[in-house]
Structure 1
Amino acid sequence: MTIDIEEPLYVNDGPLQPSDYAQLQPSDPATVPLEELRRRLRDDGYLFLKGLLPREDVLEARRAYFSYLEPSGVLKPGSDPVDGIFDASKNVAEFPGIGVGRLEDMAPQAQEFVTRALGAHSQPWYNQTLCKHPVLLEFMARFTGWGIENTLPLERTLLRNNIPQAKAIGVHYDQIFLRHGEPTSVTVWVPMGNVSLRGGGLIYLEGGHVLGRQFEDEFTEKAKVTGLSMDEAKSAFNRNMLSSGVLTEGPAAFGREYGRRWLVTNYEAGDVVLHTPYMIHASTINHDPDQVIRLATDLRFVDSSKPWDERWGEQFRLGDGV
């Protein structure tokens, strides 16, 4: 199924053509049986759940986040922080993403912005209220069958803002960065606010979970042939990978090379997307016409009764090597 989009969707290597994308299929967690939801995640590699979280709780966290970042000068003067409107008179380069470069190499405004974006990870309204929201914890315990006692939300999360016109997320699957544990984690991507089709949301490769597993098997075999140690082979940044750990920065060419479409949609506050550790995904460049900053977080859940990547047991910090 293809969808009509009036304006082009852009990724790091240019526009996606209409033949390059299709609709990400939603599921209603209130009406679809649990077994069917499990089947969809298993068969499709993703599960797009509409309205799982209370919308007002997500927007409250969004307001708190942008109020926290407001002193950095990122927001349009006079705008309501919950709207997250970028001050388009500023240079996008003054507001880099988390994990980009070293603080000491940044200009003062960029330093303040990144410092606040990092500090937001430790704020109670985020790491307790949102990341451990009781609705999410209860759903994940039931959905996975792990039970509430073994359903562990990992402390290391990635709370990302995406400024309009900034570079998008490259093509990757999460197990690349979680190789120190078994591939049993479930990622929960939470858009913290509405994300329009052109607003920089996540995109998923059709059948990408199958291809991701093939890639990982190939990386494992290549590690053996090239003589990597066990620790080197587990690293997302070993010499067989790109320096950033991603498969490629260019989703358009990647999808065409493997004959697969990118699945796209608009998201609303309260929606979440679950995906498996091998599901290949990326994001579009944020071209929101109203200069809305895309805000979202990557949460990961594991079965604590099985080996998991314990490097993810601490909050994200710049240069943590994960």
Structure 2
Amino acid sequence: MTLTESGPSSTDVLTSNGHRLDPGPRRLGRLEPVPQTERHDRAALRHRLARDGYLFLPGFLERETILEFRRYYFTALAGTGVLEQGTDPREGRAAGGGRDLEAMRRVLFREIVPGPEYEALCRHPRIVAFYRWLLGGDDLHLHRRKLIRHIGPGETGIGTATQAHYDLVYLREGTDKVLSSWIPLGDCPLERGPLIYLEGSHHRVRAEEAAGTLRHPAASITADLPGLAEEYGTRWLVADFEAGDMMVHGAHIIHASLDNVDPRGLYRLSTDIRYQSSADVIDPRWQNHWHANDGI
């Protein structure tokens, strides 16, 4: 799928949990990358983050670093039936069936999530240096609860793609100044189900949070993304991501993900991690490794 000036071309169909997004220019648009002229301007980035709710940083990390981690991840899961036999783990080609879900969870939560390879990625020197610079201090905290997910092509239905939400509902025992990085671990074009953002939604969410008038107190607002865009009178913003790109977003902007309908049969692999100043209140529930039954 490719983007035109008004959004995806007329032949493209974008869905999330089975709901078809309105492809018209009033309801669908592009994420705006941070231009190179602003990459080293902290005031400009802070202004952009406050205005837009996100920073889209193409090529932030070295492509090879990301692809080698993708290889490590799927190599670790190779014995669980996740990958098509005889294919390159770095490619991440999904098997047709017969996955051992118990074995997959065991490898994910006992080996990958607490492992040194994943920790090194999340604490990559470029990421750490960026957040220290952006937040304005060396006193930096990475939340230990870090999520990494693979979504296969054709996996549909409510709860497969990420439903619309904003991060603060999961982090209420800490500061609202926490920042999230969503990092695609491999190329992630539209058909592979990347994260998408509801344009300008953080302004309304922040105002309703302050006023205590939110009508959607639950963690996930809805799976009906086209209906939410109509309610807010705004657009879903999308992009074709490449390995090495990084998104940064605040705690109030609403986001979700598309369904993976990749015709090549490749997994969407991604991680989301959260940094904040150590001087701000830290949510204690996020200081353990992610596991299947953590209840958050």
TM-score normalised by length of structure 2: 0.90
1:214, distance to aligned residue in structure 2 (A): 3.7
User: Are 1:138 and 2:129 counterparts?
Assistant: yes
State percent identity of aligned pairs. Answer: 35
User: Are 1:188 and 2:181 counterparts?
Assistant: yes
- Select which of 247, 253, 264 maps to 1:290: 264
1:29, distance to aligned residue in structure 2 (A): 5.4
User: Are 1:4 and 2:19 counterparts?
Assistant: no
Residue 34 to residue 222, structure 1, CA distance change in 2 (3 Å): closer
1:173, distance to aligned residue in structure 2 (A): 0.2
Who is 1:151 aligned against? 140
Alignment of 1:1-322 (within 5 A): 2-5=6-9, 6-19=11-24, 20-28=27-35, 32=39, 33-87=41-95, 89-90=96-97, 109-119=100-110, 120-127=112-119, 129-145=120-136, 147-148=137-138, 150-166=139-155, 167-217=160-210, 220=212, 241-242=217-218, 245-322=219-296
Structure 2 unaligned residues grouped into runs of 5+ = none
Amino acid at match of 1:141: R
Residue 296 to residue 29, structure 1, CA distance change in 2 (3 Å): farther
Q: Secondary structure at the match of 1:213?
A: helix
Q: Secondary structure at the match of 1:130?
A: helix
How far, CA to CA, are the matches of 1:179 and 1:301 in structure 2?
15
Residue 117 to residue 211, structure 1, CA distance change in 2 (3 Å): farther
* Alignment check: 8 A CA contact 1:29 1:49 kept: no
Amino acid at match of 2:170: F
The size of the alignment, in residue pairs, is 283
How far, CA to CA, are the matches of 2:260 and 2:213 in structure 1?
37
Superimposed CA distance per residue, residues 202-249 of structure 1 (whole angstroms, 9 cap, x where no aligned partner): 00001021122244346x4679xxxxxxxxxxxxxxxx744xx20112
* Alignment check: 8 A CA contact 2:150 2:267 kept: yes
How far, CA to CA, are the matches of 1:215 and 1:63 in structure 2?
43
1:278, distance to aligned residue in structure 2 (A): 0.4
Structure 1 unaligned residues grouped into runs of 5+ = 95-108, 224-239
* Alignment check: 8 A CA contact 1:13 1:253 kept: no
* Alignment check: 8 A CA contact 1:13 1:251 kept: no
Q: Secondary structure at the match of 1:27?
A: coil
TM-score normalised by length of structure 1: 0.83
The root-mean-square deviation of aligned C-alpha atoms, in Å, is 1.9
How far, CA to CA, are the matches of 1:249 and 1:48 in structure 2?
24
* Alignment check: 8 A CA contact 1:11 1:252 kept: no
1:4, distance to aligned residue in structure 2 (A): 3.0
* Alignment check: 8 A CA contact 1:62 1:193 kept: yes
Q: Secondary structure at the match of 1:188?
A: strand
1:196, distance to aligned residue in structure 2 (A): 0.8
* Alignment check: 8 A CA contact 1:164 1:293 kept: yes
